[in-house]
Amino acid sequence: MAAQNPGTELDLSWISKIQVNQPAVLRRAEQIQARRTVKKEWQAAWLLKAVTFIDLTTLSGDDTSSNIQRLCYKAKYPIREDLLKALNMHDKDITTAAVCVYPARVCDAVKALKAAGCTIPVASVATGFPAAQTHLKTRLEEIRLAVEDGAMEIDVVINRTLVLTGQWEGSDFIKTSTGKETVNATFPVAIVMLRAIRDFFWKTGNKVGFKPAGGIRSAKDSLAWLSLIKEELGDEWLKPELFRIGASTLLSDIERQIYHHVTGRYAAYHDLPMC
């Protein structure tokens, strides 16, 4: 993750000045989804691009080294080779942006990726994910351990008690939610966050990244998210350093769509490798 927010003086007036016109945000959210569709080659290319933004994630209580290994292999080979060849994209080294696991599984992931011979970073949720209701000391220790195990990126759950009482924290990347909430990445919320990123950029020149997570399951959803970033922040944010999609099942739907684009047929469940 290249982007680094060097930070600025905390100026709470920036926050207190922010006003959100909710009905207008809702309308904008609807519009972007309706007005910005891509078809045919554009769709295929955009979907492949979306793959490169995915933090391929497994955050289950029953994760073991075997399914982590499978996940890492899928991260390295997200789309069937023959499909990529048909699109003349086989030499573009298309992989997901990262794999994202619990701290205790970082070791497994690093090992599996090394075995697959690739440099995809391992991201780890740390700091008492998903509630963050643990002591600061253990949260910091958790990060330290994950980094020691080889995690390159850490998704920190901020202490929402502090936020709700007006004590803010800075970051390089902001994420819509943990993905474990009842409501996760929604367009209206994303619009507000993206505009905060844009305002911060206009004010300081620093680019903060954005990661929607949770509930992004279909290829169509992922295209809408790409359009949203393109519309609100511009093309310069459309790179893995500044945009990620946290998802677990999205990739298989994208692969199915690519399959359909290439072959003109809808794939059977067994046509595509599982992750």
Tell me how far apart the alpha carbons of residues 134 and 59 are, in angstroms, rounded to a whole number: 18
Q: Which is nearer to other proteins, 32 or 112 (CB)?
A: 32
DSSP state of 207: P
Annotated active-site residue in 175, 207, 220, 230:
175
For residue 227, the minimal CB distance to other proteins (Å) is: 8
For residue 263, the minimal CB distance to other proteins (Å) is: 6
Tell me how far apart the alpha carbons of residues 45 and 17 are, in angstroms, rounded to a whole number: 40
- Is residue 85 annotated as part of the catalytic site, yes or no? no
Q: Which is nearer to other proteins, 53 or 129 (CB)?
A: 53
For residue 132, the minimal CB distance to other proteins (Å) is: 25
- Is residue 211 annotated as part of the catalytic site, yes or no? yes
Q: Which is nearer to other proteins, 41 or 169 (CB)?
A: 41
CA distances from 148 to 14, 55, 69 (A): 37, 20, 20
Question: Count of alpha carbons within 13 Å of 175, Cβ hemisphere only?
Answer: 20
Annotated active-site residue in 74, 76, 207, 211:
211
For residue 230, the minimal CB distance to other proteins (Å) is: 7
Strands 209-211 and 98-101: unpaired
**Binding region for other proteins (CB under 8 A):** 19-27, 34-42, 44-46, 48-49, 82-83, 85-89, 92, 202, 226, 230-231, 235, 238, 261-264
CA distances from 46 to 90, 110, 253, 265 (A): 15, 28, 14, 19
Known catalytic residues?
Answer: 175, 211
